[in-house]
Amino acid sequence: MVNNILNDADVMKKQSNIIVFITIMGVFISFALFLFVNSLAFEKQEINLAQVTERQLNSIQEKFDNAVKSINAISALFAASNEVSRKEFSTFASIELIDSPNVLALEWIPKVKHSERASFESEAQKDLFTNFTFTEENPQGEMVAASERDVYFPVYFVEPLKGNETLLGFELSTHPQRLRAIQEARDTGVFIASGIVELVQSQQHGAGLLVVKAIYSNGLVPESLAEKRALLKGYSLGVLKLQDLFKTQTLLGDNHPQSTIFVFDNNEAVGQKILYPVMSPYQTLEEAKQAQNGLCQLKPLLLANQEWSLYQCISNNKMDYLGNIEALIVLFCSLILTFVTTRYLIVQQKQRMHTNKLLLELRNNEFYLNEIFNNVDDAIVSTDMSGRISSINHSLIKLFGYTEQELIGQSVELIVHNFTSKNQVAGFSVFSNIDQYQALGKKRVEVRAKHKNSKEFPIEISIRQIKYHGRDIVIGMLKDLSMVAEREQAQLEISKNATELRQLIDTANAPIFGIDAAGLVNEWNQRAEQLTGFAKIDVMGKDLVARFITEDYKASVKEVLDKALQGEESANYEFPLYTKTGDRVDVLLNSTSRRDAAGRIVGVVGVGQDITELNKIRKEQESVAHDLTQLIDTANAPIFGIDAAGLVNEWNQRAEQLTGFAKIDVMGKDLVAGFITEDYKASVKEVLDKALQGEESANYEFPLYTKTGDRVDVLLNSTSRRDAAGHIMGVVGVGQDITELNKIRKEQESVAHDLTQLIDTANAPIFGIDAAGLVNEWNQRAEQLTGFAKIDVMGKDLVAGFITDDYKASVKEVLDKALQGEESANYEFPLFTKTGDRVDVLLNSTSRRDAAGHIMGVVGVGQDITELNKIRLEQESVANDLTQLIDTANAPIFGIDAAGLVNEWNQCAEQLTGFAKIDVMGKDLVAGFITEDYKASVKGVLDKALQGEESANYEFPLYTKTGDRVDVLLNSTSRRDAYGQIIGVVGVGQDITETKKSQAQVVQASKLATLGEMATSVAHELNQPLNVIRMAAGNSRRRIKGQKSNKDTEYILEKLVRIEGQTSRAAAIIDHMRMFGRRAEEKSEMVDPREVVFNALGLLGAQLKLAGIQVATNFPEKCSKVMGHTIQMEQVILNLLANARDAMKDNISGSRITLSITEKDGMITISSEDTGGGIPEHILSRIFEPFFTTKEMGKGTGLGLSVSYGIILEMGGTIIAENITDGAKFSITLPTTNNIIQKIDLMGI
């Protein structure tokens, strides 16, 4: 509004100044806008970076959350299953990896104890790879076998397996960061992210992040730390590669450069240490801030337990060019606008005077409108026909929050939206299209208004067009429809509450089910899924009763749901469901009708409680209650019960028998008034009243009248009876009929005096103490035994004053137990006598009670065992010496108990058999250690000994630990206890194994001697017919040779020559047999070693050839002779050849004997080498012993090498055996005749 009209001259002058001023200000503003736009460009880039940083954080969080989701799924698999196979894990994990592409690998790490390591590795090798073992990284980064520790956490399952084979068996606890992560996961039970670690995958080396979740044996997270550590089953683990997790987001706009990101660890004790990138030049956040002088954003990054910071930057050189072009354009446009404005002002200056005149005419109308505007309650606005605001009143300012300056000249759209109202008229168009409004005949229209604070609300507009100073304007009155706005707000709140309610239902700890009006499922929360195993998607839209309720409850559940659909709600009715596995789950349900906004019932929702376990407990309790009722009713003790009013409500069969009153006669009657004797009414009532207050009593007298009027004395223990809520609702008492006991007690009082007299004069020592341990009983025998008179000890501490120091503690413990009712028998009770000697007493202690049964002391009846102890000590010494003697005896000693089980096995028996004492004790001697051929006879001898019939010098052959046989000659004696009862057998033996072998060898030698004599005789007898055959063949040959030659004669001559040759050969063999069969008594002669070897080969060569053995010889053309006997030397060579043949009998091929003769330094060496595998090292030193053989019984005498050794020794030589590469070598060394002659010359003989 114009308030003052200036004169034309003044106006012109001022307008000129204004034009100059505007021109200057235009230029100034242009440059200011240039700087401002440049600044805006920088701020825009800063906002852009903030948005990108936020996107970066969201991206990292999303990747991490996906990983957590996958690991949680794996955790659920292992928590729900005791056993998960490799295939199951692979299938399940593969699905999760598809949904979480940023997860590098999913792993299962079980907890393995040290004692389980070997079996675990073995099972894993069967299941996975043959080379599976627990591994760790050494300082050089190589995978080596994991060192021993109490518990292991190896990677057992990993998906994908390809590329991650190195992970199998990798021990997580060997790496500090991994160990911290799994320990924290174990102790918290939540997801834990490790620090940055170097990945060990063979194809994925680089930095990464591990996310770990602990799994416990029961599938739930225990409450206490100790339980968490004890019930730990293993870990599910996900691997995220750092490069993938922190992949840089692109800035907004195509022309903007990439930003650089850094991640720092806020958990570090000193500074914020760099985590990413790994090869960053900066180590802390402060270093990065100092180096990065461009545009940067610092945001917190929380991943599980890790508190990190994300620092994202764009350097200055990337920002220099940003915004310059826009700023120059703004500067150019501003200068053009300044020029145009100046030009426009000059033109307008000429029109100003005319305008001032018009303004003066409007002045009065303006004052009038202002008066109207500012004094009405409704908001008023006036606009021109284009909808521009020309004036407003105070109510409108108050309604919309704008100042007058902010609204004048602005479009009415600023406060009234161009939204279509319910009357189908555009909001602000009613101001600019008044004709349209009037044509519709509308007086009021509802539209949306907008407050300065952007809050929208409904208003009602009433408008009118008027003429103002010759111009058309529109006057509008605006009314706030606040109630409508509040209603809409309430609707928003309802929508919000509905969302929250949906979240609450879905995550509630109780199962929640819902059906629509047709009985089809439309609500099934997560707890219902867990309880039944059916996922929500499996049940939605299906008939709840028909598909999921057990058969026996279908009708009743349907009836309850139908009532709820009629508006009749029900509470706590049973709602048994089938689970996915076919099991039954019992649910206690409260059902509520579900209504729409109009209050119509549209379905039913039910909140349940899983009472499956509760039902089991209830059934068990009902069973216990039944058993308890049965027990009470049939108990051997009388049981009485009253309610809170003292009326009888329990009276068992024993109570009926005792009193004569049947249960039906007493139920509901006053117990005290009707059945208690007069003298006890008050005291019994007091006890029962206390029990009704919770103060229970024991062992109080409870005398009753019987039906016949007699008195029955009962000793009663009363207990408060409580309901399920713990409130006392009566008293129950278990009694004992002491009627006869009271009679007996009176009789006992009479007997007590007699007993006191008996104690005092008893032949056994009797001692007594009161509850304080002071002597109150000391009979005459005790006086005689100790020398202390009764008057000397009465009232004194028995243990402190009279028990020896070494037994004080144990005797006091026994007496204290007796004072508690725990009596002891036959314990040692050593006393000092008056002379200071020791007396050993064996005591039986008994609690001493008063008439009420209370323990008031201890009495002990003793037996003097002083002399007996001396004898026992002597016997123990003898027994100890005997045990030592048996254990260290030089002869084997065996013992069995009455069942034939070994109970004695001394050191010599251990050495003889190879079985340690611990290996045989408690085992059956005959069944386990006696050879089969002697089992029956040995058992018969031992059974006789167990009957008392002892045996001597019977054979007792045993198996050794190596399976050999040991022959023992045994004398067995019955073993008796202190009472002379036979409790076993003990036997002292003699090892006759070698003796029996020697006997067998002597027999064999005797056989050989007889065979030698027979060989001489047979040789003589065979020579006669052989000579006849040879002579006949010779005569025939000579006769035929003189006749005419033809084919027949030539054939006969050839055969006769062959007969002569063979008979000569047979004669030579028989001569050798005859020589072997008699003792060589002739003197030594010079013998050619080559001839001896050839002769031996002639005798045995055919056998060697038949056995497939090749014979090679290596003899010199000439060699010196030796002194000896030809036949004996041949016998030695034959023995060596025969042994070599037998050693190679199992060879498939390659059997070979090499015979060689060498001469050196006056000594002849004959050697025999074979390929028979050699001689075992442990018997090599024994092969020349007489009768030593490795052959089976009957296939060798063990004399061949021994005899050979003796023959060579007699010849002044040596024979040695040794092993070579593939067999054995025997070397015979003999002096040559020349060597012997030289030695004789030197000796001067």
In the prediction, which pLDDT does 991 show?
82
CATH topology of domain 1083-1245: Heat Shock Protein 90 (3.30.565)
**Arithmetic mean of pLDDT, 321-342:** 69
Lowest pLDDT segment from 40-44, 177-181, 1103-1107: 40-44
- Rg of the chain taking only CA atoms, in angstroms: 61
Higher pLDDT, 21 or 926: 926
CB-CB contact of 159 with 97 (8 Å): yes
Task: Give the CATH superfamily of 508-616.
Answer: PAS domain (3.30.450.20)
In the prediction, which pLDDT does 1168 show?
93
> What is the rounded CA–CA span in Å between residue 508 and residue 526?
8
Sign of dihedral through CA atoms 165, 166, 171, 172? negative
**Arithmetic mean of pLDDT, 566-570:** 86
Pairing of the two strands 1110-1114 and 1152-1160: parallel
DSSP state of 1207: H
In the prediction, which pLDDT does 427 show?
43
Count CB atoms within 10 A of the CB of residue 232. 22
The residue type at 1059? I
CB-CB contact of 587 with 610 (8 Å): yes
CATH topology of domain 635-678+691-719: Beta-Lactamase (3.30.450)
pLDDT tens for residues 21-31? 777 877 778 77
Residues contacting 298, CB < 8 A, separation 6+: 285, 309, 310, 311
- DSSP assignment of 486-500, as one string? HHHHHHHHHHHHHHH
pLDDT tens for residues 478-521? 777 765 556 666 667 766 666 666 676 777 678 888 999 899 99
Higher pLDDT, 31 or 530: 530
Tokens 């070599």 sit on residue: 1140
Helix, strand or coil, per DSSP, at residue 955: strand
Is residue 36 left, alpha or beta, with left meaning phi > 0 and alpha meaning psi from -120 to 50? alpha
In the prediction, which pLDDT does 7 show?
53
**Arithmetic mean of pLDDT, 615-633:** 71
Share of the chain above pLDDT 70, in %: 78
pLDDT tens for residues 425-476? 444 455 555 555 555 445 567 777 788 887 877 777 777 777 766 677 787 7
In the prediction, which pLDDT does 901 show?
94
> What is the rounded CA–CA span in Å between residue 1027 and residue 669?
139
Q: Which two tokens stand for residue 250?
A: 């692109």
993-1041 and 1047-1077 helices cross at what angle (nearest 10)? 150
CB-CB contact of 841 with 831 (8 Å): yes
420: pLDDT strictly greater than 50: no
**Arithmetic mean of pLDDT, 330-346:** 74
pLDDT category at 1 given cuts 50, 70, 90 is very low
> What is the rounded CA–CA span in Å between residue 691 and residue 714?
18
In the prediction, which pLDDT does 668 show?
92
Tokens 């000249």 sit on residue: 409
Residues contacting 601, CB < 8 A, separation 6+: 517, 565, 566, 567, 593, 594, 595
The residue type at 176? P
Closest CA to 790 of 760, 830, 815, 753: 760
In the prediction, which pLDDT does 796 show?
92
Backbone angles phi, psi at 1188, to 5 degrees: -85, 125
- Dmax (CA) for the chain in angstroms is 196
Helix, strand or coil, per DSSP, at residue 1136: helix
896: pLDDT strictly greater than 90: yes
Element spanning 778, H or E: strand 775-778
> What is the rounded CA–CA span in Å between residue 830 and residue 1029?
108
The residue type at 942? L
Task: Give the CATH superfamily of 374-488.
Answer: PAS domain (3.30.450.20)
CA dihedral 1117, 1122, 1126, 1130 (to 10 degrees): -70
Residues contacting 1055, CB < 8 A, separation 6+: none
Tokens 């129950």 sit on residue: 732
81 burial level (CB within 10 Å; 0-12, 13-18, 19+): exposed
Rounded (5°) CA angle 765-771-772: 95
Closest CA to 96 of 70, 71, 63, 75: 70
> What is the rounded CA–CA span in Å between residue 815 and residue 802?
14
Closest CA to 704 of 730, 749, 738: 738
pLDDT category at 351 given cuts 50, 70, 90 is low
For residue 637, CA distances in Å to 388, 546, 649, 670, 919 come to: 107, 54, 17, 21, 56
Answer yes or no: same fold for 762-864 and 1083-1245: no
DSSP state of 918: H
Q: Which CATH number fits domain 73-245: 3.30.450.350, 3.40.50.1400, 3.40.50.12280, 3.30.930.10?
A: 3.30.450.350
**Arithmetic mean of pLDDT, 927-932:** 88
> What is the rounded CA–CA span in Å between residue 561 and residue 553?
12
836: pLDDT strictly greater than 90: no
Average per-residue pLDDT for the chain: 79
pLDDT tens for residues 600-609? 898 999 888 8
Element spanning 654, H or E: helix 653-659
Higher pLDDT, 804 or 1010: 804
Closest CA to 1132 of 1215, 1191, 1024, 1067: 1215
Lowest pLDDT segment from 85-89, 636-640, 1187-1191: 1187-1191
Backbone angles phi, psi at 139, to 5 degrees: -55, -25
Name the β-bridge partners of 930: 958
Domain spans of the chain? 73-245, 254-316, 374-488, 508-616, 635-678+691-719, 762-864, 871-991, 1083-1245
pLDDT category at 368 given cuts 50, 70, 90 is low
- DSSP assignment of 1045-1108, as one string? P-HHHHHHHHHHHHHHHHHHHHHHHHHHHHHHHS---SPPEEE-HHHHHHHHHHHHHHHHHHTT
Lowest pLDDT segment from 121-130, 187-196, 1134-1143: 121-130
Say if domain 762-864 classifies as CATH 3.30.450.20: yes
- Rounded to a whole number of angstroms, the distance between the first and last alpha carbons of the chain is 171
858: pLDDT strictly greater than 70: yes
Extended strands (E) in 319-388: 379-384
CB-CB contact of 892 with 991 (8 Å): yes
807: pLDDT strictly greater than 50: yes
Share of the chain above pLDDT 90, in %: 10
Closest CA to 155 of 146, 191, 92, 114: 146
Higher pLDDT, 289 or 188: 188
pLDDT tens for residues 962-976? 888 888 888 888 988
Q: Which two tokens stand for residue 744?
A: 């007996």
Q: Which two tokens stand for residue 376?
A: 């009405």
**Arithmetic mean of pLDDT, 1174-1184:** 83
pLDDT tens for residues 270-311? 456 776 776 666 667 777 676 666 678 788 878 777 778 777
Closest CA to 970 of 952, 949, 995: 952
Domain at 871-991: CATH code: 3.30.450.20
DSSP state of 378: S
> What is the rounded CA–CA span in Å between residue 704 and residue 117?
72
Higher pLDDT, 1182 or 1225: 1225
Tokens 């509470």 sit on residue: 571
pLDDT tens for residues 120-135? 888 888 776 667 888 8
**Arithmetic mean of pLDDT, 1200-1212:** 83
221: pLDDT strictly greater than 70: yes
> What is the rounded CA–CA span in Å between residue 67 and residue 240?
8
Higher pLDDT, 1155 or 293: 1155
pLDDT category at 75 given cuts 50, 70, 90 is confident
Rounded (5°) CA angle 139-145-149: 95
Residues contacting 1195, CB < 8 A, separation 6+: none
Lowest pLDDT segment from 678-687, 871-880, 996-1005: 996-1005
> What is the rounded CA–CA span in Å between residue 547 and residue 545?
6
**Arithmetic mean of pLDDT, 823-831:** 85
